[in-house]
């Protein structure tokens, strides 16, 4: 920010001006949301004042009620929104209304950069806060006075075109009074009935009285404290829309209360869609904490586990001390107790939903499964319940469909003691790779772990129903004997010799080479010989360029029945150089199937040599 004259005229930060240009010029239809945004800011400012009142003795204008007053002046074409909240100092005016302080507007600009179009829709989705006033205003003036006893009054004003002014003013009350001078075509927002309609729609649940031209419009009802059977479906939905600041309908709702181990009322919602999309980063927790209807924190970080950050709604506990601050919440035994009780109850609710309506639950899991997996991978305290809620694709599900672990266990073959899984980036990679064959041949179901978080889920969960998880590419895997597959095979002695020779050709890159029982159709596969580090983790280290520190420990298994393997055994004596090339290529193919091939470029030259040999071979 820079001053252009006398230090009372300032330029907007470039990002703010960019945002303003979009807000002013876009053909957004729901301009009315600016009322919601300003009322919500006013309510936040009142909430902050209430916190200040707990700790500070001297507050300017301490006798003022915590309320919001809105006045319409049709003749002048203005709408005024006044709150008696904390107000702003001169520095805060510059910081808050001249730069982008607000995560919603940041997310908006980011999404805009990514989508490149459809600005109007994005405004509705993110809410651009204070700046939304410029959708309807030709000029906005903010009269404000901070709660600090030694502060001064100021007037901030701007037309949204590059710069704004700040002047000192006398006789200002505590808080903010925002006067919006409406553009000719938006004069409707100076009409009482129109503003009333908007407040009805968006601000009914604001926790402070809102007066419109002297008349209170909201009834301050705390829906979550009322009894379930007297609340209408629409009221819930409306409350959800308010609490989540959204226009969709909730996917799930859980309203419950408890008296022991502590008194609490909770009203929780799961939205339609996951909010963490398009790389917008982590969202803030969305369940507000109240104590006897009084808002303590609208985005408390330590109330619920991080992986429940997708939940929206309210928790109210009368056992909490009113003066609990955001800082002390973390150390509060009560908050920890709330956390446990609510998390358990919500997980139980999900279990019931999964039982009652498996299809609906599968839809939920598609959108929000990631969060539950994050919980199962990182949170030790709920991992058993979470394991019941996790779903995976498997060799027995259709593509895109999933199974629970309980269902997997119910289908286990007699004598099967372990739960098998394969980690890969796609279903197709598993089905065309060499690892599934051995399990198919034995009619064993295998879970498909297709997301990076999945492997952490199984390694943290360790077992389900007493059965441990076992990776299909693990070297020491014990599978029951199957009848020797039909077809010719190398003899035992020949196989042993071939393995030794292959080990010699491949050198340090491989631990052991052996003939295995797993392979049916593929000539060879790579096995993980390092129990401490799975193939997946190795792939991740590779991605992070750390493979130099991770000694490769893989074994290779060959299929002595496969024509190619049998050919190599013969080729060794007739054309050793070509046999070596083929051996190298076999190894690289197996590594590629395991996702472990670092640099395929070296292969091209070799394949060309092999092709040359193949095409010049006499029939």
* Residue whose CB is less far from ligand ADP, 42 or 419: 42
Question: Which residue from 238, 267, 98 is spatially nearest to 166, judged by alpha carbons?
Answer: 98
Question: Within 13 Å of residue 331, how many CA atoms lie on the same side as its CB?
Answer: 4
| Interface residue with ligand ADP, options 123, 176, 515, 525 (CB under 6 A) | 176
**Does 69 help bind ligand ADP (rule: CB under 6 A)?**
no
Place of tokens 């790579």: 526
**Does 20 help bind ligand ADP (rule: CB under 6 A)?**
no
Q: In angstroms, what is the minimal distance from the CB of 34 to ligand ADP? A: 10
**Does 595 help bind ligand ADP (rule: CB under 6 A)?**
no
Other CB atoms within 10 A of residue 196 CB: 16
Q: In angstroms, what is the minimal distance from the CB of 115 to ligand ADP? A: 21
Answer for the pair 525, 594: CB distance below 8 angstroms, yes or no. Answer: yes
| Interface residue with ligand ADP, options 16, 23, 33, 45 (CB under 6 A) | 45
**Does 186 help bind ligand ADP (rule: CB under 6 A)?**
no
Dihedral angle over CA of 376, 382, 385, 388, nearest 10: 0
Residue 363 structure tokens: 């839809």
Please identify, among the stretches 79-87, 198-206, 226-234, 380-388, the one whose residues bind ligand ADP according to the rule CB under 6 A. Answer: 79-87
Other CB atoms within 10 A of residue 232 CB: 8
Q: In angstroms, what is the minimal distance from the CB of 98 to ligand ADP? A: 10
* Residue whose CB is less far from ligand ADP, 11 or 459: 11
Q: What CA–CA distance (Å, rounded) separates 442 from 439? A: 5
**Does 389 help bind ligand ADP (rule: CB under 6 A)?**
no
Residue 154 structure tokens: 């100021």
Which residue number places its CB atom closest to ligand ADP? 129
**Does 64 help bind ligand ADP (rule: CB under 6 A)?**
no
CB-based burial, 516-544: b 16+ in 10 Å, e otherwise: bbbbbebbbbbbbbbeeebbbbbbeeeee
**Does 86 help bind ligand ADP (rule: CB under 6 A)?**
yes
**Does 286 help bind ligand ADP (rule: CB under 6 A)?**
no
Place of tokens 């800011």: 41
Question: For residues 111-170, which are near ligand ADP according to CB under 6 A?
Answer: 129-131
Question: For residues 98-117, which are near ligand ADP according to CB under 6 A?
Answer: 101-102, 104-105
**Does 85 help bind ligand ADP (rule: CB under 6 A)?**
yes
Q: What CA–CA distance (Å, rounded) separates 401 from 363? A: 10
Strand 312-316 relative to strand 286-291, pairing: parallel
**Does 283 help bind ligand ADP (rule: CB under 6 A)?**
no
Answer for the pair 426, 450: CB distance below 8 angstroms, yes or no. Answer: yes
* Residue whose CB is less far from ligand ADP, 42 or 535: 42
End-to-end CA distance of the chain: 81
Place of tokens 């020491």: 476
Count interface residues toward ligand ADP (CB under 6 A).
19
Q: In angstroms, what is the minimal distance from the CB of 88 to ligand ADP? A: 5
Q: In angstroms, what is the minimal distance from the CB of 149 to ligand ADP? A: 17
Q: In angstroms, what is the minimal distance from the CB of 45 to ligand ADP? A: 3
Answer for the pair 572, 498: CB distance below 8 angstroms, yes or no. Answer: yes
Please identify, among the stretches 80-88, 446-454, 580-588, 592-600, the one whose residues bind ligand ADP according to the rule CB under 6 A. Answer: 80-88
**Does 41 help bind ligand ADP (rule: CB under 6 A)?**
yes
Question: Which residue from 92, 121, 127 is spatially nearest to 107, judged by alpha carbons?
Answer: 127
User: Given the rule CB under 6 A, which residues bind ligand ADP?
Assistant: 37, 41-42, 45, 83, 85-88, 96-97, 101-102, 104-105, 129-131, 176
């Amino acid at each position: 920010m820079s001053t252009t004259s006398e230090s009372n005229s300032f330029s907007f930060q470039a990002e703010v001006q960019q945002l303003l240009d979009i807000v002013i010029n876009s053909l957004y239809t729901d301009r009315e949301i600016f009322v919601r945004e300003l009322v919500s800011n006013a309510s936040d400012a009142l909430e902050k004042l209430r916190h200040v009142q707990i700790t500070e003795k001297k507050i300017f204008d301490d006798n003022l009620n915590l309320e919001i007053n809105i006045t319409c002046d049709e003749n002048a074409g203005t709408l005024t929104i006044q709150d008696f909240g904390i107000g702003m100092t001169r520095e805060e005016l510059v910081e808050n209304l001249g730069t982008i302080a607000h995560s919603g507007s940041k997310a908006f600009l980011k999404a805009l950069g990514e989508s490149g179009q459809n600005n109007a829709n994005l405004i509705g989705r993110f809410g651009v806060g204070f700046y939304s006033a410029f959708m309807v205003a030709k000029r906005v003036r903010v009269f404000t006075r901070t709660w600090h006893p030694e502060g001064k009054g100021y007037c901030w004003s701007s037309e949204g075109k590059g710069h704004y002014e700040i002047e000192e003013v006398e006789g200002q009350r505590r808080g903010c009074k925002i006067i919006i001078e409406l553009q000719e075509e938006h004069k409707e927002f100076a009409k009482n009935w129109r503003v009333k309609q908007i407040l009805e729609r968006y601000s009914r649940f604001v926790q402070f009285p809102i007066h419109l031209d002297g008349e209170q419009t909201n009834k301050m009802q705390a829906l979550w404290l009322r009894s379930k059977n007297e609340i209408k479906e629409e009221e819930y939905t409306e409350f959800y829309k308010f609490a989540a600041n959204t226009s969709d309908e909730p996917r799930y709702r859980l309203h419950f209360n408890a008296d022991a181990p502590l008194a609490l009322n909770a009203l929780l919602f799961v939205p339609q869609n996951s909010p963490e999309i398009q790389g917008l980063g982590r969202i803030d927790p969305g369940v507000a904490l109240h104590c006897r209807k009084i808002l303590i924190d609208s985005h408390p970080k330590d109330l619920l586990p991080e992986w429940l950050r997708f939940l929206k709604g309210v928790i109210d506990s009368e056992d909490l001390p009113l003066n609990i601050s955001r800082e002390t919440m973390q150390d509060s035994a009560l908050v920890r107790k709330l956390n446990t009780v609510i998390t358990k109850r919500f997980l139980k609710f999900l279990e019931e939903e999964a039982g009652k309506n498996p299809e609906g639950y599968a839809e939920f899991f598609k959108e929000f499964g990631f969060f539950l997996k994050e919980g199962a991978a990182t949170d030790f305290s709920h991992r058993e319940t979470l394991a019941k809620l996790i779903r995976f694709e498997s060799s027995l599900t259709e593509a895109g469909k999933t199974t629970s672990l309980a269902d997997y266990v119910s289908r286990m073959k007699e004598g099967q003691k372990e739960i098998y899984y394969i980690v890969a980036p796609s279903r197709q990679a598993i089905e065309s790779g060499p690892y599934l064959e051995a399990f198919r041949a034995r009619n064993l179901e295998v879970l498909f772990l297709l997301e990076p978080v999945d492997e952490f889920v199984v390694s943290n969960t360790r077992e389900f129903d007493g059965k441990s998880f076992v990776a299909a590419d693990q070297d020491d895997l014990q599978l029951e004997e199957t009848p020797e597959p039909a077809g010719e095979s190398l003899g035992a002695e020949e196989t042993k010799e071939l393995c030794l020779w292959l080990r010699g050709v491949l050198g340090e890159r491989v631990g052991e080479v052996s003939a295995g029982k797993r392979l049916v159709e593929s000539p060879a596969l790579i096995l993980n010989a390092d129990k401490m580090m799975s193939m997946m983790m190795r792939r991740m280290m590779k991605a992070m360029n750390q493979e130099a520190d991770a000694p490769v420990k893989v074994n290779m298994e060959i299929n002595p029945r496969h024509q190619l393997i049998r050919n190599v055994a013969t080729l060794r004596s007739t054309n050793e150089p070509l046999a070596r090339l083929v051996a190298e290529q076999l190894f690289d193919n197996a590594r590629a199937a395991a996702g472990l091939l670092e640099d395929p470029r070296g292969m091209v030259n070799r394949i060309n040599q092999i092709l040359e040999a193949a095409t010049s071979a006499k029939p």
